[in-house]
Structures are given as structure tokens and as C-alpha cells.
Amino acid sequence: MSDAQVSLFTRIINREIPADIVYEDDQCIVINDIAPQAPVHMLVIPRKPLAMLVDAGPEDKMVMGHLLLVAGEVARMRGVDEAFRLVINNGAGAGQTVFHLHLHVLGNTQFDETNLATF
């Protein structure tokens, strides 16, 4: 991967850029979002640099499932396991700004028609 292709999240994973790390293991890292859209807003980021969800293939089935399990675990750790939202933006048209697959875990807020698409 060339330097032009290295994402912000890869640089965080490689400890080139500081982040507020909530959890990490051999397959992913979880950080607090620097521009939270909810009182609890974490990003679950796979170590494997997939640009978008649609770039995942059959070989990524295990890591994709792992990301969901980790999302549930960090929601539980932060006390929002009874009510949280998971969001994956796929492509610029869907609001993706960093092209390294990541899941938004949003909790401790009421979601209604006015704030569903604000992240």
C-alpha cells in the first residue's frame, strides 16, 4: 500500500496519530470519535484496510462478524447495551469520509426523524 493509500485509521492503528483507544485486539481497534454525534460515539475499525463494506469478500466473513461482536462488547462496556445504533456509511454518497471501513456505535441519545442521518 502506497503512502497515498494509507488511511487516517491505518495511521491511528500504527500509532502514527494519537487517538482515544477504547479497545483493541488482533483484528480491530475501537476509538472514541473526535467529532461525536451522540454522547457515546465510538468507531470500530478493522486492522485490515478495506476501503468500504462492499470491498469485503468471503474471506472477510470472520472479521466482519468479529466487528459486530466487538461493537456489542464496547457498547456493554460503556453502559449503552440496551439502546445503541450501529452505522456503516458505504461511499461518499452515503457520508463516508474516511475510506477505511468502520462501524459507528452511537448511544445515550434519542433517535428520531430529525437526527437519523446526521453522522
Helices (H), the chain: 8-13, 61-77
Of 41, 100, 102, 104, the active-site residue reads 102
| Sign of the torsion angle spanned by Cα atoms 98, 38, 87, 71 | positive
C-alpha span between 110 and 108 (Å, rounded): 7
Contact between 90 and 53 (Cβ < 8 Å): yes
Closest CA to 110 of 35, 33, 39: 39
C-alpha span between 75 and 77 (Å, rounded): 5
Tell me, yes or no, if 41 is annotated catalytic.
Answer: no
Cβ neighbours, 10 Å, residue 64: 15
Among all residues, which ones are annotated catalytic?
Answer: 102
